[in-house]
């Protein structure tokens, strides 16, 4: 999460990436597309899933960050505050997202959490930024598509509606995470920023899980293997590869590529969980993805991959 600033010139904002980058983007999209289906398949409470994926990722990243301990000492004290704040928002995001997937369908939850660019644009507008007409059109279409999608889900299950609302809240929280994290990223490297955010999120989720008396252990081996797959795939491989590609490919192209997580997750869920899309969902999902593409194209912040 939180890729480095691209050095791509404005005229190449939508240029086709190099063949190697295209392959890496396809790999990363595939990795993050497994997130929703894996969460839905894991027989573990949502808070425990959210905790373990962040805790394990932190354990992997801490030794890497320690190698750069000179940077840790040089980072200004004020930079730690937005990093910790971003980590707390990330914890809330993962909690809402995981609960959302458990209650709703993978396709709906993944699409609704992907509304993050629209929320980022609105937050930027509150801070005084100017939003062009294309972005406003995308936001309006996204609102309509979101209403249609949640309306269809309530026809099938009230629990699905709650899951949709949680996924939507997760998208808002992701926008807050990106907005606050942008302040810290001006001075902190990707490794340091990600390590602090994941560590903070893990600590916050551990407190929440303990307060809710959610067990951290006692699960079968198959459950732990899925947790490792979730962490290694979406949390580390997907995010890390997106960050790497951002060095040579424009943020707009990377953000547009990440939107393919929505149909990717839906396809995997259909094959592995037999969660087939209803005919009502297809046009709503198509409009939502197109609307978010407009927002990203107009300058929305990159979507944090799940």
pLDDT per residue as tens digits for the range 130-157: 888 999 999 999 999 999 999 888 888 8
pLDDT of 168 reads: 96
pLDDT per residue as tens digits for the range 76-129: 666 888 899 999 999 999 999 999 999 999 999 999 999 988 998 898 888 888
Domain regions of the chain by residue span: 16-297
pLDDT per residue as tens digits for the range 245-284: 877 787 778 888 889 999 999 999 999 999 998 888 899 9
pLDDT of 284 reads: 93
Q: Hunting for tokens 């081996």 — which residue is that? A: 221
């Amino acid at each position: 999460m939180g890729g480095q600033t691209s050095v791509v010139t404005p005229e190449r904002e939508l240029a086709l990436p190099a063949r190697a980058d295209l392959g890496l983007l396809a790999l990363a999209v595939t990795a993050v597309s497994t997130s929703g289906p894996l969460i839905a398949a894991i027989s573990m409470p949502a808070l425990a899933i959210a905790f373990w994926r962040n805790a394990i990722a932190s354990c992997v990243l801490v030794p890497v960050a320690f190698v750069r301990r000179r940077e840790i000492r040089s980072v200004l004290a004020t930079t730690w505050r937005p990093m910790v704040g971003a980590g707390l928002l990330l914890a809330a995001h993962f909690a809402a997202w995981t609960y959302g997937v458990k209650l709703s369908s993978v396709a709906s939850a993944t699409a609704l959490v992907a509304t993050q660019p629209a929320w980022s644009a609105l937050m930027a507008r509150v801070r005084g930024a100017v939003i062009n007409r294309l972005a406003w059109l995308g936001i309006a279409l996204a609102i309509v598509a979101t209403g249609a999608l949640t309306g269809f889900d309530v026809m099938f299950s009230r629990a699905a509606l709650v899951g949709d609302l949680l996924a939507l809240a997760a998208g808002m929280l992701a926008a807050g995470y990106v907005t606050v994290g942008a302040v810290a990223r001006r001075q902190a490297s990707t490794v340091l920023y990600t390590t602090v955010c994941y560590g903070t999120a893990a600590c916050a989720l551990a407190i929440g899980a303990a307060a809710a008396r959610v067990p951290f252990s006692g699960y079968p081996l198959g459950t732990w293997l899925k947790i490792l797959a979730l962490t290694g795939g979406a949390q580390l491989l997907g995010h890390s590869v997106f960050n790497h590609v951002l060095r040579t490919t424009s943020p707009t192209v990377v953000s547009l590529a990440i939107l393919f997580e929505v149909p990717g997750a839906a396809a995997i869920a259909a094959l592995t969980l037999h969660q087939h899309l209803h005919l009502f969902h297809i046009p709503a999902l198509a409009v939502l993805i197109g609307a978010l593409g407009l927002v990203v194209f107009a300058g929305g912040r990159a979507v944090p991959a799940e």
